[in-house]
Structure 1
Amino acid sequence: MSSDDAYARSGVDQGAADSAVAGLVRALGKIELGRPSAQVPLPGHYASVIEVAPNLGIALSTDGVGTKLVLAEQLGKLDTVGIDCVAMNVNDVICVGAEPLAMLDYIAIDRANPEVCEAIGVGLARGATLAGIEIPGGELAQLGEMVHGVDVSGACFGTVALDAIVDGRRAAPGDSIIGIPSSGLHSNGYTLARASLEGLDLGEDPDGRLGRPLGEALLEPTVIYVKPIVELLRSEVDVHGLAHITSGGVNNLLRLAAPVGYEIDSPLPIPPLFDLIAERGNVGDEEMHEIFNMGCGFTVVVPENDEARTLEMLRAHHPGAARIGRVTDAAGVVTR
């Protein structure tokens, strides 16, 4: 597996995915409403916002757990994947400055299995508790002809004042970038991770570097960042940008609307699990940073004079939060 296209060789063609999304966007652009659109223009952002009343919008996002479920099924441990499902949705909704309120889940399964579904429900309930949201309903689809195993996804909505939307357009050169640690891979890059680590015993700790069994490290749930971010948004801190670091790594900062660049000069420590994947899969450093969060799960952009207060608030929830860089005037460029 070459270091240049390890992800593609493991079965994920990002170029094809980009083309597929472009096709979807073209088709959806032909929707005829018969009325003015209520959508707030936020192209490429983490969540969509629809105006529902004067100065009130609902933020919408949808996501799933992905191939982390393959490992969860293999290890017979499905009681945490619901946390991942909640996290991937609510962490996107907060990026526009919204407070998540509720989520609907969608479980596609080959055949209904009460034990499997209850285990998934345990995680969903735990995730909802951590995020402070409700799960008032959902869907269970038995798709034996299409699905082998189970897939878990969801759709989340929250509310945001239209004049309080955080889209990143106010990010300015000199602003501080604060990083909040991830718990591990979160819910991205598992196809490559599994290919890279193939042959290793999931019940053992390779080389003793992880401090726990490999399978346990891989299934560590995605961190839910809702409470500290909502607390920050309600404070006097002038939040200029919020980015959930998923596939694409810190390049996700480019989804913010401002014509600026980002210099990551003091990255958070890289957990040993990422080093293990890179070594075993012969994955180059550049590709690792393009696919994985590399230890940073969320970023906050604030004016430099708000940096200390921001760190104080975030560290009350996540002690490892730290300044990782600054905003530059090199538009569209992320440097590490």
Structure 2
Amino acid sequence: MRASVEQEPARPGHAYTQAGVDSARQERALEGLLQHIRSTASRRQLLPISLFANVLDLGNKIGLAVSMDGVGSKALIAQMMDRYDTIGIDCVAMNVNDLLCVGATPIAMLDYVAVRVPDELLLEQIGAGLADGAREANIEIPGGEIAQIKDMLQGYSKQRAFDLVGCAVGTVPTDRILTGRDIREGDVVVGLRSSGIHSNGLSLARRVLLESGAFTVESEVAELGQTVGAELLTPTRIYVKPILDMLTSGLRIKSLAHITSDGFANLRRIQANFGFVIEYLPDPQPIFSLIEKLGAIPRGEMFTVFNMGIGFCVVVDPADADRAIEIAARHNVEAHKLGHAVPDPERRVHLNPVGLVSTASYFEPAST
């Protein structure tokens, strides 16, 4: 069974754009905003905006790491399922995983919940998920904001339409901030397994699997081992425990990357002229092959939009790669050696097992 996908010449992000997410246009529009935002920076701001999180210098070698993210259109899946007790975990995960990438220890997150109407069941279940995520990440949620914006929110469920965003903070010694500047040739990329689709690419997944009429959220799919809705709603993995364990175990970690939108191209978010050659990729979870086949999605776009089975990467000294894998296993997270760093001023990411290369935020077939 195939989703009805209009056949047009493939280009980077084409299917995702048809699904309503125009990444290229977003980048162009964002520059207009950033030209003003950058003017607010002072000497307290230690990093460029392009990294996963920023760090503010509080003095005495103490850095305050800050990050902000939301659950995106995964909220629509929750509405289709009328289940809201895990979406808060995704909100926590998307924020604390970004904080980890600068070497920070997450300490707290504030939440913003926008609703059409203040439905009691909706808010109680969102709160339960936020609390579960906070406990897993060992953070506090000391406050937040709720907004009733009936005229602005449509959603799948008129009664329970919502949006959920978080802003997280953490601490990091200013002399231990990770930016990739210490990467050297041969440093190993260790990939930590994702729990599934996480919180990126849901617009494309929804279009291919649900809006095409191929499935409903209640459809049982043998290769998934559960319903389509349950698979898509699987919470984003929180990597705080294994990564903090690595950071405090003496491993020579050079950079950390949260594999979200743009996939392995997130490895490029470093302050060093190095690229990466990926030589091994574990098989992605069945949800990804289902989307790829049903929607006839080009392989390059799959690796641009989705995490494809790896949710977090650690770039580490070769001598410490095995220990990183052992620490991940100690926290019940599967990890693999994926590849290595190479000098490259263009910071390209080569995915050799699938014949793709990224010189920007998307993957295309590598030249032969």
| TM-score under structure 2 length normalisation | 0.88
The SS at the match of 1:163 is coil
Task: Give the corresponding residue for 1:127.
Answer: 133
Task: Work out the CA distance in 2 between the residues paired with 1:117 and 1:11.
Answer: 27
Task: Give the corresponding residue for 2:218.
Answer: 203
Matches within 5 A, 1:257-336: 257-331=271-345, 332-336=347-351
| Amino acid across the alignment from 2:98 | D
| Amino acid across the alignment from 2:163 | D
| Deviation readout 1:81-109 (Å, 9 max, x if unpaired) | 00000000000001000000000000000
| Amino acid across the alignment from 2:31 | A
Task: Work out the CA distance in 2 between the residues paired with 1:10 and 1:80.
Answer: 24
2:47 pairs, out of 41, 51, 64, with: 41
| Deviation readout 1:296-333 (Å, 9 max, x if unpaired) | 00000001011111111111113421111111123311
Task: Work out the CA distance in 2 between the residues paired with 1:296 and 1:256.
Answer: 19
Task: Work out the CA distance in 2 between the residues paired with 1:27 and 1:42.
Answer: 14
| Amino acid across the alignment from 1:59 | A
Q: Does the 8 Å contact 2:181/2:270 carry over to 1? A: yes
| Deviation readout 1:145-172 (Å, 9 max, x if unpaired) | 1112100001000000000111111111
Query: Structure 2 regions of 5+ residues with no counterpart?
Result: 155-160, 352-368
CA drift at 1:255 = 0.3
Task: Give the corresponding residue for 1:146.
Answer: 152
Q: Does the 8 Å contact 2:279/2:339 carry over to 1? A: yes
Task: Work out the CA distance in 2 between the residues paired with 1:145 and 1:129.
Answer: 34
Task: Give the corresponding residue for 1:177.
Answer: 189
CA drift at 1:227 = 0.9
1:97 pairs with 2:103: yes
2:92 pairs, out of 83, 86, 90, with: 86
CA drift at 1:201 = 2.6
Task: Work out the CA distance in 2 between the residues paired with 1:213 and 1:194.
Answer: 14
| Deviation readout 1:10-37 (Å, 9 max, x if unpaired) | 1111111101221111011233x8xx53
The SS at the match of 1:136 is coil
| Deviation readout 1:181-221 (Å, 9 max, x if unpaired) | 00111000111000011210322233x11111111111000
Task: Give the corresponding residue for 1:15.
Answer: 24
Task: Work out the CA distance in 1 between the residues paired with 2:183 and 2:38.
Answer: 29
| Amino acid across the alignment from 2:63 | G
Task: Work out the CA distance in 2 between the residues paired with 1:144 and 1:157.
Answer: 30
1:76 pairs with 2:85: no
The SS at the match of 1:197 is helix
For the aligned residues, what is the CA RMSD?
1.2
1:192 pairs, out of 204, 216, 233, with: 204
Q: Kindly report structure 1 stretches of 4+ aligned residues shifted beyond 4 Å.
A: none
Task: Give the corresponding residue for 2:361.
Answer: none
Task: Work out the CA distance in 2 between the residues paired with 1:289 and 1:257.
Answer: 23
Against the structure 1 CA distance between its residues 256 and 30, is the aligned structure 2 distance closer, same or farther, given a 3 Å change threshold?
Answer: closer
Query: Structure 1 regions of 5+ residues with no counterpart?
Result: none
Task: Give the corresponding residue for 1:215.
Answer: 229
Q: Does the 8 Å contact 1:51/1:162 carry over to 2? A: yes
1:24 pairs with 2:33: yes
Q: Does the 8 Å contact 2:68/2:166 carry over to 1? A: yes
Task: Work out the CA distance in 2 between the residues paired with 1:319 and 1:113.
Answer: 36
| TM-score under structure 1 length normalisation | 0.96
Q: Does the 8 Å contact 2:16/2:204 carry over to 1? A: yes
Task: Work out the CA distance in 2 between the residues paired with 1:103 and 1:319.
Answer: 24
Task: Work out the CA distance in 1 between the residues paired with 2:112 and 2:51.
Answer: 23
The SS at the match of 2:253 is coil
